[in-house]
């Protein structure tokens, strides 16, 4: 993930603070800049509106999630641990993206990140574009469902437990089509 300027990092920290007890729709720019310790002009130099700031927050975290989805590891479980650890570290944002109507494209973008990864590798194994697309959508929508249900838990389970569950479910879904998860995904570093 790219390094942020001090003011943008302070704004993210301020947003996280307010999201712990306020809905995103109720957060005011004046509250953000006061808590972040930046001036109004600094905020508006980077973002024309509060909505543009919120869009940047989504873009920033989706970029990070995309990077986590491209992580290479020794096993599928280690890969999923890395992915769920990223979600865990940024849970306050992903919970908000999931539950707020401000980000209608959130689920679509989550799906696209996963589809890009899986479809290529499944196709390389079965050489059938239609079937690889369907299997990819099935797996990714299941992953997103698990991730969103997990993020909505009051006390989050450790990421490694969720990763193990997702790895097992993915292995079983692929096995039903005679595909071995560890053979289709380039986990090796």
Task: Kindly state the average pLDDT of the residues 11-36.
Answer: 93
Residues 104 and 79 in one domain: yes
Q: How many CB atoms lie within 10 A of CB 77?
A: 20
Alpha carbon separation from 71 to 20, 75, 78, 173 (Å, rounded): 29, 11, 10, 22
> What is the reported pTM?
0.84
Whether pLDDT at 8 is above 50: yes
Residues 101 and 69 in one domain: yes
Task: Kindly state the average pLDDT of the residues 123-129.
Answer: 88
Residues 38 and 72 in one domain: no
Residues 70 and 40 in one domain: no
Residue 11 lies in a domain: yes
Residue 52 lies in a domain: no
Residues 30 and 61 in one domain: no
pLDDT tens, position by position, 95-118: 888 887 766 778 888 888 888 778
Whether pLDDT at 186 is above 70: no
Residue 51 lies in a domain: no
pLDDT of residue 189: 46
Residues 78 and 8 in one domain: no
pLDDT tens, position by position, 35-84: 999 999 999 999 999 999 998 999 999 888 888 777 777 888 888 888 89
Residue 12 · residue 4 · CB < 8 Å: yes
- CATH at residue 93: 1.10.357
Residues 111 and 38 in one domain: no
Give the number of domains in the chain.
2
Residue 184's contacts (CB-CB under 8 Å, 6 or more residues apart) are 121, 122, 124, 125, 174
Residues 90 and 167 in one domain: yes
| Domain, as residue range, for 19 | 1-46
Residues 37 and 111 in one domain: no
Residue 189 lies in a domain: no
């Amino acid at each position: 993930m790219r390094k942020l300027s001090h003011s943008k990092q302070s704004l993210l920290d301020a947003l996280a603070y307010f999201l712990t007890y306020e809905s995103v729709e109720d957060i005011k720019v004046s509250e953000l800049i006061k808590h972040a310790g930046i001036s109004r002009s600094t905020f508006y130099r980077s973002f024309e509106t509060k909505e543009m700031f919120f869009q940047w927050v989504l873009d920033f975290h989706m970029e990070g999630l995309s990077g986590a989805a491209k992580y290479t590891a020794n096993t599928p479980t280690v890969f999923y641990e890395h992915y769920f650890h990223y979600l865990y570290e940024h849970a306050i944002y992903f919970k908000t993206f999931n539950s707020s109507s401000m980000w209608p494209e959130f689920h679509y973008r989550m799906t696209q990140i996963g589809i890009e990864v899986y479809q290529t590798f499944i196709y390389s194994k079965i050489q059938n574009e239609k079937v690889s697309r369907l299997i990819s959508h099935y797996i990714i929508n299941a992953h997103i469902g698990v991730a969103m249900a997990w993020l909505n838990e009051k006390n989050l389970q450790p990421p490694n437990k969720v990763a193990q569950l997702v790895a097992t479910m993915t292995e079983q879904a692929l096995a039903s089509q005679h595909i071995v998860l560890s053979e289709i995904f380039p986990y090796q570093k």
